[in-house]
Amino acid sequence: MSIVITVTSGKGGVGKSTTLANLAVGMADEGKKVVAVDFDIGLRNLDMLLGLENRIVYNVIDVMEGKCNLSQALINDKHSKSLYFLPASQTSDKNILDKVKVKELLDTLKKEFDVILLDSPAGIEGGFEHAIAFADRALIISTPDVSSVRDADRVIGIIDAKSEKAQQGEEVVKHVVINRVKPELVERGDMLNTEDVLNILALPLIGVVPDCEKVISSTNLGEPIIRDTKAQSGEAYRRISKRILGEEVDYLDLSVKKGFFKRMFT
Amino acid sequence: MSLLTSLFGKKSSSANVARDRLKLVLAHERASNALPYMDEMKAEIMEVIKKYTQVKDIHISSQNNQNIDVLEMEIILK
């Protein structure tokens, strides 16, 4: 059974595409056949995060318009045989996506892949609606700051309204990923903690990713951080990938080491 | 809230302020988000009324009293 997972956030710049790139690698490493589809039409970015920007010939719009075959547009990852990437087009015509064609594309992808990851554009407009319309699951990425949480809440509120699945009375499974957490700030009371964010968004958690300087260099290199076995954020993504696939994994211990007493009470 | 903070109180940290501000603003926004079909419905009702008379604006508000959800509509004529 293949599954369509949409990664979304509302606010831009919270690490949506970075998260998607890492989870795509993570789930492929877990033995699933994964395709990462960039639905951020006009603002292609997933290609660079995966380090595949030089291999693009055709894009997702070309496939939907029949200008090429799916296999011509799919790009195989450099390292993983079971990970494929379908780039966004760089057209500025936002209305180019068509619901019927999106469904057709996803149905075709479902025949070949176990996991279809859709990178939704920021915002709540057309592009987002197409990305969420046929999702089985949604991952909502939020950083622990007021604007990101607020926008995430707004997106959560409209997912069901835009989802075909929800309209047929089924449930779109939604989970929160809290990204760029700085444990020292949380401990000091200067950053919303996991509990606060989950309380406000009223959704279950699937992962907390610590803020990590290494993500910047990994982005520079086009190598998702999950491939860095020493990076804490990479480990966080690895665990999220497993959780998505149904495995129960402990959460990373992000507490600032301060000894027994402090931990007892926080 | 942790046991420590509830026992001894805590100077209001910026995260607590953020949490309270978010809760307030979202409580307000959710009320207006609760009916995602509102804008479309409003436009359609407007079209229907326009067939018969001149309409300036429509206000729709939702309330729930006990167990009944009520949509209250106010039609302002020209």
How far apart are the CA of B14 and the nearest CA of chain A, in angstroms?
5
Confidence at residue A55, expressed as pLDDT on a 0 to 100 scale: 95
Confidence at residue A71, expressed as pLDDT on a 0 to 100 scale: 95
Picking from B16, B22, B36, the nearest residue to A150 by CB comes out as B22
How far apart are the CA of B57 and the nearest CA of chain A, in angstroms?
25
Average pLDDT over residues A94-99: 80
CB-CB neighbors (< 8 A) of A200 in chain B: 19, 22-23, 26
Range list of β-strands (E), chain A: 3-8, 34-38, 75-76, 83-86, 115-119, 137-142, 173-181, 205-210
How far apart are the CA of B40 and the nearest CA of chain A, in angstroms?
13
Quick one: how far is CA A29 from the chain centroid? 16
Give the pair of three-digit tokens for residue A27.
């789930």
Reply yes or no on whether the pLDDT at A262 is more than 80.
Answer: no
CA dihedral A37, A42, A46, A51 (to 10 degrees): 120
CB-CB neighbors (< 8 A) of A145 in chain B: 18
ipTM computed for the complex? 0.79
Percent of chain B whose predicted confidence (pLDDT) is above 90:
17
How far apart are the CA of B55 and the nearest CA of chain A, in angstroms?
28
Give A173-232 pLDDT, tens digit per residue: 999 999 999 999 999 999 999 999 999 999 999 999 999 999 999 999 999 999 999 999
Closest C-alpha to A50, from A89, A78, A72: A78
pLDDT bucket at A95, cuts 50 / 70 / 90: confident
pLDDT bucket at B38, cuts 50 / 70 / 90: confident
pLDDT bucket at A266, cuts 50 / 70 / 90: very low
- Does the model's pTM come out above 0.80? yes
Confidence at residue B2, expressed as pLDDT on a 0 to 100 scale: 54
A190 touches chain B (CB under 8 A): yes
- CB–CB contacts below 8 A, A to B: 51
Q: Of the given ranges (A46-55, A61-70, B36-45), which has the lowest mean pLDDT?
A: B36-45
Quick one: how far is CA A117 from the chain centroid? 7
Stated as kind and residue range, the H or E segment containing A195 is: helix A194-201
Please report, as a single letter, which amino acid is at residue A246: G
Give A164-182 pLDDT, tens digit per residue: 998 898 999 999 999 999 9
CB-CB neighbors (< 8 A) of B16 in chain A: 189
Interchain CB distance below 8 Å, B22 and A161:
no
Closest C-alpha to A244, from A27, A31, A34: A27
Average pLDDT over residues A241-261: 84
Find the closest chain B residue to A186 by CA distance. Answer: B15
Q: Specify the residue for token string 């080491």.
A: A257
Give A7-27 pLDDT, tens digit per residue: 999 899 999 999 999 999 999
Return d(Cα A260, Cα A224) in angstroms, integer: 35
- Give A154's DSSP letter: H
Return d(Cα A189, Cα A196) in angstroms, integer: 11
Please report, as a single letter, which amino acid is at residue A4: V
Average pLDDT over residues A25-33: 97
Return d(Cα A54, Cα A35) in angstroms, integer: 18
pLDDT bucket at A1, cuts 50 / 70 / 90: confident
Picking from B2, B18, B36, the nearest residue to A192 by CB comes out as B18
Strand partners, B57: B76
- Give A246's DSSP letter: T
Average pLDDT over residues A103-124: 95
Reply yes or no on whether the pLDDT at A113 is more than 60.
Answer: yes
Please report, as a single letter, which amino acid is at residue A6: T
Reply yes or no on whether the pLDDT at A45 is more than 70.
Answer: yes
CB-CB neighbors (< 8 A) of A183 in chain B: none
Average pLDDT, chain B: 79
Which three-class secondary structure string do you get for chain B?
CCHHHHHHCCCCCHHHHHHHHHHHHHHHHHHHHCCCCHHHHHHHHHHHHHHHCCEEEEEEEEEEECCEEEEEEEEEEC
- Give A134's DSSP letter: T
Give A128-154 pLDDT, tens digit per residue: 999 999 999 999 999 999 999 999 999
* Structure-model confidence comparison of residues A97 and A211, the more confident one: A211
